[in-house]
Amino acid sequence: MERREFLKAGVAGAAFVIAGPGLVGTARAETFINVLTGGTSGVYYPLGVAMASLFNDKIPGVNASAQATKASVENLNLLQSGGGELAFTLGDAASLAWAGNEEAGYKGKLDKLRHVAAIYSNYVQIVATAESGIKTLADLKGKRISVGAPKSGTELNARAILKAAGLSYEDFAKVEYLPFAESVDLMKNRQLDVTLQSAGLGVASIKDLATALPIVIVAIPADTVAAVGDAAYQTAIIKAGTYQGQDADVATAAIRNLLLTHSGVADDLVYAMADTIFSNLDTLVAAHKAAGAIKLDKSATESPIPLHPGAEKFYKDKGIL
C-alpha cells in the first residue's frame, strides 16, 4: 500500500473507532490529538502549537490542539492516564518514569509510554544577574534561586546538577519553584538572584531577562556533568552571542528531548504524526530555532522508552531501522 493510502486509510479507521457505535455513519468523525507541551515562555509550547497546526493541516480527520503544562513529569503522568496523544519530555524524566521513580513524581512504572522521536537537546542554563556577584557554581551558595516548576524536567535537572556540584537546596537563602517567565519577573524585581532553566538555546524567558538586566551565564564544567552519573547528561556549549551581553562560549550540560505517546494511540495515527513532523521541519524551525537540531536519522529512534509500532513502521519505511 502506498504511504499516502496507508495514512488516509489508517486515520479514517482511527476516527471510526473513536466515533463509537452510536456515531456509525457520521460523515466527519474526528480523531483528537492533544499535544502536551510546557510553560508558554519555554520552547515546548511554541513547537507544540506548530505541531498541532501541522496535524490539523496535513492529517485528514484530525482535531489537534496544544496544551500548556508544567512539562516533563506532568506530561508523562497525563500520557499514562490517556490525557494526551503526544508529549514533550526530557530524556532523564522519561527514564525515571519508566522506572517508576516516586521521588521524581511517579506513583509507579509508567508502562504505557511509547517513543515517537528524539528531537533537539535541552541545555541547562544557569543565569544570574550581574549585580548578584555570581560567577561560578560555588558562588550560588547563599543566593536566591528558582529551579523550575515543582517536579518538572527542569527541576529534576536542577537537583542532579546541583548535587553533582556539591550543593543542595538547603545551601540557598531561598528556593522558588517557578516556571521560566515568573522566575525572570522576580529577577527583574530583584527578588531572585539566579534562575536555572532547562530549555533549547535562545529560550524567550532568558532573552527577555538579558534585555532587561546585565546577566551572567554560569558555566557547568565537564567534571560536574560527569559527576551526575547519568548517560542522559552530555557536555555542551552555549555559544557566544546566544543572549544579549554574552560575549564568550559557556560550558554546560545538555539532555535530549523526546516526543512520546502511549500504547493506546493507533499505529497509523502515530505514523502520520511522525511523518508530518519530519516532513515539515522548516515550519517547526520558524516556530522556534531550537527545532533546527531535529534530524531524521538513527538518533531519532534512541530512547529509554520502547518505540511505538507506528513510529517503528515510519522509521523502517525511511530506511533508518
| Nearest residue to 305 via CA among 91, 102, 146 | 91
pLDDT band at 9 (very low <50, low <70, confident <90, very high): very low
Helices 153-164 and 91-99: angle between axes, nearest 10 degrees? 100
- The number of beta carbons lying within 10 Å of the beta carbon of residue 296 is 16
Tens-digit pLDDT profile for residues 272-294: 999 999 999 999 999 999 999 99
CATH architecture label of 3-120+257-317: 3-Layer(aba) Sandwich (3.40)
Domain ranges of the chain: 3-120+257-317, 122-255
| Nearest residue to 260 via CA among 109, 118, 59 | 118
Tens-digit pLDDT profile for residues 24-52: 333 446 899 999 999 898 899 999 999 99
**Cβ–Cβ < 8 Å for 133, 163:** no
**Cβ–Cβ < 8 Å for 214, 129:** yes
CA distance 54 to 21: 29
| Nearest residue to 290 via CA among 204, 172, 177, 178 | 204
What does DSSP assign to residue 82? T
Tens-digit pLDDT profile for residues 86-95: 999 999 999 9
Specify the length of the chain in residues: 321
Q: Which regions of the chain does DSSP assign to beta strands (E)?
A: 31-36, 62-67, 86-90, 113-129, 144-146, 174-176, 194-199, 215-218, 233-238, 250-262
Q: Exposure pattern of 115-141 as b/e (b: 16+ CB <10 Å)?
A: bbbbbbbbbbbbbbbeebebeebebbe
Examine domains 3-120+257-317 and 122-255 and report if their fold is the same: yes
What cell was used for 246? 554574552
- Cell 531519532: give the residue: 300
Tens-digit pLDDT profile for residues 151-193: 788 999 999 999 999 999 999 999 999 999 999 999 999 999 9
CA distance 145 to 225: 20
CA distance 37 to 259: 10
What cell was used for 91? 530524556
Tens-digit pLDDT profile for residues 205-228: 999 999 999 999 999 999 999 999
- Torsion sign (Cα): 238, 289, 257, 214: positive
What cell was used for 131? 549585580
pLDDT of 22 > 60? The answer is no
pLDDT band at 17 (very low <50, low <70, confident <90, very high): very low
Task: Report the chain's mean pLDDT, rounded to a whole number.
Answer: 91
| Nearest residue to 202 via CA among 242, 260, 153 | 242
- Torsion sign (Cα): 320, 31, 71, 219: positive
- What dotted CATH number matches 122-255? 3.40.190.10
The fraction of the chain above a pLDDT of 90, given in percent, is 85
Check residue 152 and give its pLDDT. 85
**CA dist 126 to 97, 146, 275, Å?**
25, 10, 35
The fraction of the chain above a pLDDT of 70, given in percent, is 91
**Cβ–Cβ < 8 Å for 133, 193:** no
pLDDT of 302 > 50? The answer is yes
pLDDT of 295 > 60? The answer is yes
